[in-house]
Amino acid sequence: MRDVYIRAEKPDDVSAIYQVNSEAFGRENEASLVNQLRGAASTFSFVAIQSDQIVGHIFFSPVTVRGGSSNLSILGLAPIAVLPNYQRQGIGSLLIQQSLKACSESGQDAIVVLGDPKYYSRFGFISASTKGLRCEYDVPDEAFMVLELNSGALQDCTGTVQYRSEFKVCE
Ligand SMILES: CC(C)(COP(=O)(O)OP(=O)(O)OC[C@H]1O[C@@H](n2cnc3c(N)ncnc32)[C@H](O)[C@@H]1OP(=O)(O)O)[C@@H](O)C(=O)NCCC(=O)NCCS
């Protein structure tokens, strides 16, 4: 991984981000999702740059916990994408590590993610069920994970996590 850096999304990045997501996923659902969520919610978006090109992207949007406290700021990590030719070089890991740091610094309480536990456990994510959180979607227990950024924040927050309605396009 040579000379890659991560920075927050800028207005001019929109079409490159669309391209990265559609190429990485091999379809346009996730790319369109990002476009729909951007502006509709308070989102966090970061890009990975190599040789002046956007080669990766990570996105976070707010989730709510039905039956839980509404005073917490919890984000859902989705999607994350790296251009096919740039995968397996550590760019995805760098995107996750640096964006989690930025989310933490901006005062977010926790992050949830739906994905491969082997991958996300590298960054400290644990099964969300251990914190009493369930996913609104019918997914294997171990695939729904959480990372507390604000230690102890989830202590009194249990219930069903709901993503924004825009996510229906990716089910
Ligand atoms: C997931 C993704 C962002 C990872 O980016 P990356 O730059 O390749 O990741 P890294 O180089 O930091 O890490 C690669 C490691 O993670 C593993 N890995 C990569 N993608 C994975 C996935 N979807 N599930 C499980 N493990 C994965 C690889 O096995 C590799 O492990 P190794 O180094 O031991 O071989 C990238 O593969 C991608 O864009 N995939 C298509 C889109 C996608 O499925 N996104 C995730 C769902 S939102």
CATH code of the domain in which 72 resides: 3.40.630.30
Total domains in the chain come to: 1
Ligand 1 atom at minimal distance to the Cα of residue 113: 48
Domain span holding position 19: 4-170
Per-residue pLDDT tens over the stretch 40-70: 889 999 999 999 999 999 999 999 998 866 6
Per-residue pLDDT tens over the stretch 72-128: 999 999 999 999 999 999 999 999 999 999 999 999 999 999 999 999 999 999 999
Using the mean position of ligand 1's atoms as its centre, give its distance from the Cα of residue 87 in Å: 7
Please state, in angstroms and rounded to a whole number, the distance separating the CA atoms of residues 123 and 51. 26
88 ligand 1 Cβ < 6 A: yes
What's the pTM?
A: 0.94
Please state, in angstroms and rounded to a whole number, the distance separating the CA atoms of residues 16 and 9. 10
Amino acid at 169: V
Using the mean position of ligand 1's atoms as its centre, give its distance from the Cα of residue 114 in Å: 13
